[in-house]
Amino acid sequence: MTKWTMVADLRRCVGCQTCTAACKHANATSPAVQWRRVLDFETGNFPNVGRTFVPVGCMHCSDPPCMHVCPSTATGQRADGLVTIDYDICIGCAYCAVACPYQARYKVDEPLFAYGGDRQMQNEMVREDPARLGVAQKCTFCSDKIDFGIANGLTPGVEPEATPACVNSCIADALHFGDGDDPNSNVSQLLAENATFRMHEELETDANFHYIWATKAQEGLAATDDAPQPSRGIGGVGAAAPWLQQHWDWRAAGNFIGGGTGSGLMIAGAALSLQGAPVGNWPLIALGFVSLGLFLVFLETGRPLRAPINVFLNPQTSWMTREAMIGAILFPLGLITYFLGSADLFALAGLAGAVYLYCQARILTEAKGIPAWRHSANVPVMLSTGLAEGLAVYLIAGPLLEQPETTLQPAIAAMLVLLALRTIAWNRYVGAMAVDAPAATSEALDAVHGPFHYGGNLFAMALCGIMLIWSDLDGPTMAIGVIVLVSGWIYKYSLITQASYNQGFHLVRTPEKGGGTGPGGKPGWGSPA
């Protein structure tokens, strides 16, 4: 077997950015896109400081998170390990971008040129590729050069004609490329002779991009304090510290808001109908919320006309595909329930709504590039919030629709229990984020803690207790619903747009002059400065 592998010698990289320029030239990327970039990484505290330049890009993981989440199967993997993108079937959902822990995915929706507007230089006019607009794009390890070289009897990593442009251009001989499965290849020998690491190995992506920090003989010269130390990245897009993802915005938040509220209402309505409550308009209202969420995410999709078909292509691993498939069941089932008024059908629709809600929660956990989303503790928060939102709509609209009081009282009791469970889930999640997320994520969650926890949980629970004692007050019933609904929406909006910091880049080791290693760096994690 062949497994194309890249090795970067951190002892040699001088931060000249020649590899970045060569990549842009070879692949005709737009000004806002850098498939190969170099981080300027500073560690330590004055006067004991170190500076390391770190080339980053697509790591061509053996177990790529981007491929698993892709609903259209546009992201694939060749037999030689290269992770690819088929521009012709990509829907531009950017799910792969938030799933990538190396921030190596890009999506450009409009043509971008060096001088702005429509002022194209001659080479931009010739090399502009409309197929890349609205879809995901990333480093390919110059697969076209590799394939050309193999077809012509050349060895990738040895002959320049078959070797990635970034490797060919490196003036310091810091980048190397070859077959990692061939024990005689140049990269295999480098890995055997030197002390290396891979970035974010804790995520178990099995990246095929390795970093050299010392020789095996020098490995014993490692600093005694090798725990990650506070540090910072220098220079705009090349900063090593986490930054707020820009791939999913308020429209994606609207999808989780609408989908959670609608599926939660479908569940709540179905459960109460089994207790004798009329089916009424609840299935239709629930589908309206879900439809709104889907419409908003449709607006965010780069190639929306492909989405209705291509989103169904990867049920094996993609939770977005699974959400779409259960949605295709939920809608006709909900409509039939509405027209027939059947409590039994409503129960089935409620079950479909529960699966839909779970799929939404799992969509976030599979986004390995965003610590606030991927943590398993977020699942019970998302589930309880969706259920609470749906029940809140029931409490708000129930009095307006003259719902019998005998159904509103059980709904209030259920809300009290649900909010108690959400309180427990929220406290567990916030505690996890204090340890397993960047400091900026915790700060964003702290900002929403007041309206969500104190207002949407504790205060709403107190109102529920009052209502269970004084059952003849419609005003507090609706107030409970409004408080819970708004607090849940605030949380989801904040989670998607304000707490969604990626994990940045951190090093396990940094090379040290004279051999050995200094402490690693994990900027932006731990206590805020």
- Do 163 and 270 reside in the same domain of the chain? no
SS3 501: strand
- Do 40 and 117 reside in the same domain of the chain? yes
Domain assignment present for 341 = yes
Domain assignment present for 502 = no
Structure tokens at 349: 């629709």
d(Cα 393, Cα 386) in Å, to the nearest integer? Answer: 11
Per-residue pLDDT, 225: 45
Greatest Cα pair distance in the chain: 85
Per-residue pLDDT, 43: 64
Question: C-alpha dihedral over 236, 240, 246, 247, to 10 degrees?
Answer: 130
Q: Cβ–Cβ contacts within 10 Å for residue 447, how many?
A: 14
Residue 216 phi, psi (nearest 5): -60, -35
Per-residue pLDDT, 151: 96
SS3 257: helix
Per-residue pLDDT, 229: 46
- Do 263 and 226 reside in the same domain of the chain? no
Sign of CA dihedral 364, 299, 264, 479: positive
- Do 236 and 254 reside in the same domain of the chain? no
Do the strands 136-137 and 175-179 form a parallel or antiparallel pair, or are they unpaired?
unpaired
From first to last of its 529 residues, the chain has per-residue pLDDT tens of 899 999 999 999 999 999 999 999 899 888 878 999 998 877 666 777 777 899 999 999 999 999 999 999 999 999 999 999 999 999 999 999 999 999 999 998 887 766 676 766 666 665 677 888 999 999 999 999 999 999 999 999 999 999 999 999 999 999 999 999 999 999 999 999 999 999 999 999 999 999 998 888 776 655 444 444 434 444 333 468 899 999 999 999 999 999 999 999 999 999 999 888 889 999 999 999 999 999 999 999 999 999 999 999 999 999 999 999 999 999 999 999 999 999 999 999 999 999 999 999 999 999 999 999 999 999 999 999 999 999 999 999 987 776 676 678 888 999 999 999 999 999 999 999 999 999 999 999 999 999 999 999 999 999 999 888 876 655 688 899 999 999 999 999 999 999 999 999 888 877 866 555 666 777 888 754 3
Q: Cβ–Cβ contacts within 10 Å for residue 337, how many?
A: 28
The predicted model scores a pTM of: 0.92
Per-residue pLDDT, 405: 67
- Do 236 and 300 reside in the same domain of the chain? no
SS3 112: coil
d(Cα 390, Cα 397) in Å, to the nearest integer? Answer: 11
Domain assignment present for 526 = no
Per-residue pLDDT, 500: 97
Q: Are 146 and 6 in contact (CB under 8 A)?
A: no
Domain assignment present for 503 = no
- Do 284 and 209 reside in the same domain of the chain? no
Q: Is 199 exposed, middle or buried (0-12, 13-18, 19+ CB in 10 A)?
A: buried
Domain assignment present for 236 = yes
User: For position 401, which CATH number holds?
Assistant: 1.20.1630.10
- Do 229 and 359 reside in the same domain of the chain? no
Domain assignment present for 156 = yes
Per-residue pLDDT, 518: 65
- Do 349 and 420 reside in the same domain of the chain? yes
- Do 16 and 146 reside in the same domain of the chain? yes
Domain assignment present for 45 = yes
Q: Is 173 exposed, middle or buried (0-12, 13-18, 19+ CB in 10 A)?
A: exposed
- Do 307 and 177 reside in the same domain of the chain? no
Per-residue pLDDT, 3: 96
- Do 207 and 129 reside in the same domain of the chain? yes
The residue to which tokens 């999506």 are assigned: 107
Identify the DSSP state of 34: -
Per-residue pLDDT, 257: 98
d(Cα 289, Cα 296) in Å, to the nearest integer? Answer: 11
Reported as type and span, the H/E element at residue 33 is none
Print the domain residue range for 407.
250-497
Instruction: Please name the residues in contact with 69: beta carbons below 8 A apart, sequence gap of 6 or more.
Output: 95, 96, 99, 317, 318, 319, 320, 363, 366, 367
Identify the DSSP state of 450: I
Domain total of the chain: 2
Per-residue pLDDT, 514: 56
Tell me which residue of 337, 239, 238 sits closest to 284, measured CA to CA.
337
- Do 126 and 57 reside in the same domain of the chain? yes
User: For position 155, which CATH number holds?
Assistant: 3.30.70.20
d(Cα 212, Cα 511) in Å, to the nearest integer? Answer: 8
Per-residue pLDDT, 515: 58
d(Cα 95, Cα 378) in Å, to the nearest integer? Answer: 18
Domain assignment present for 523 = no
